[in-house]
Amino acid sequence: MRVVELFAGAGGMSLGLKRAGYEIVQAYDSWDKAVAVYRNNVGPHAWQADLKEIFRIGPAVASLAPDVIVGGPPCQDFSTAGDRVEGERAEMTKVFAMIVCIARPPWIVMENVPRASNSKSWAEARAMLMRAGYGLTECKLNASYYGVPQARKRLFVVGRLGEQDGFLESALVAARSAQPMHVRGMLRATDPDDANILASGAFYTRPYYTGRGVRLLDEPAPSVIRTTREAPRPHYLTSPHPDDPVPASNAGLLTQGQVARIQGFPADWDWSSVGSRDIDQMIANAVPAPMAEAVGRAILERECGRTIPALQGRFGSWLAGSCDFSKAAVRNAKSRVNRARRLLGGRTFANGAVELATLEGIEEFARLPTATRSDLRKSLRLYREWQSQAPKARQNNRQKVGLIKAMAA
């Protein structure tokens, strides 16, 4: 699948998608230094551009005929580490949606901080995407469950033309690891800097406001920010957080290279073209590559028809109560919906008539006995009827459908 990335930064998302098997055909970012790092590591297809020039960038992206447009619009206006005032940077979320609406790729992926989900900018961008025909899965994911030794909580929006909202929800849940990744799992005893951290058994990161500064190695790191690797200040040393497991003076200090690895960059990533402060900023802004890879693999699996969405909610209870189905009949109806979805290659379709028409056109479906075809159609119609009658589904359809609590407590 061919990808165009907007707001590409230093290349974390592109790296993850390349690992998943995608072809990155173009990448854009407004920061020339980030573009230089991207080119040094990912490839020469990155270009410096002001994405607000929608009528120049939109047609250029459309001409590339991408299968996927991805991007992480600036998050500072939404971030807990920022002022949380929606300004020009928040408007770039709408710019992302506008470019998508011009190019109309089959798939889209957007990443941002969780607070963006309740922003005015995202509400307007969401409305654009829905009018353009995209079904959206909005997921709040914790990076530590997706191969990253960091409790970085992020909003991922995955869209696909013609789908129902929430269509990829169960696949993203299934992609989670059973346990979060800890910093210890990233460290190598043969590396001198890592050996120092291993010897101390704990590490310090500059906390958000009044948060904890010291963590044990068997915990994920907190979300990386530009100042993560700064040493504790005198005030913190004299007034530490009460939950620190050891004094900050006894905890190891992370190097820039370690912070980059916590954010998912490989140890050999070439940062040589930019200064230290800019590197810290690029690391903090990045989408962790392992997280992007996990999301990318879930999309590829669905694109290839190897997964189907899990049945959501209390469909079985509705069948038993409203339709007077027996337990066996409920099981059969659920099984038939899943069978139909497998025949449809995992598609859910926003329009029920299109879903049934597509099913009729599948050769394997046409070869089934008449009674079996009738049962599959009936089960799909029943599921649609249940969805249309579920009050919570109607209320959440525009604002919060597909939100996954895939973050640690």
Give the start-end residues of each E strand in 133-201. Answer: 134-142, 153-161
Active site residue 75: yes
Question: What is the rounded distance in angstroms from the CA atom of residue 347 to the CA atom of residue 224?
Answer: 36
Instruction: Read off the tokens for 373.
Output: 């075809």
Cβ contacts of 191-195, under 8 Å, gap ≥ 24: 193/255, 193/257, 193/258, 194/258
Active-site annotation holder among 75, 101, 304, 323: 75
* Cβ(155)–Cβ(140) below 8 Å: yes
Number of Cβ within a 10 Å radius of residue 317: 11
Question: What is the rounded distance in angstroms from the CA atom of residue 256 to the CA atom of residue 265?
Answer: 11
Through-space distance between the first and last CA atoms of the chain, rounded to whole angstroms: 35
Contacts of 148 (CB under 8 A, 6+ apart): 181, 220, 262, 263, 264, 288, 290, 291
User: What are the residue numbers of the active site?
Assistant: 75
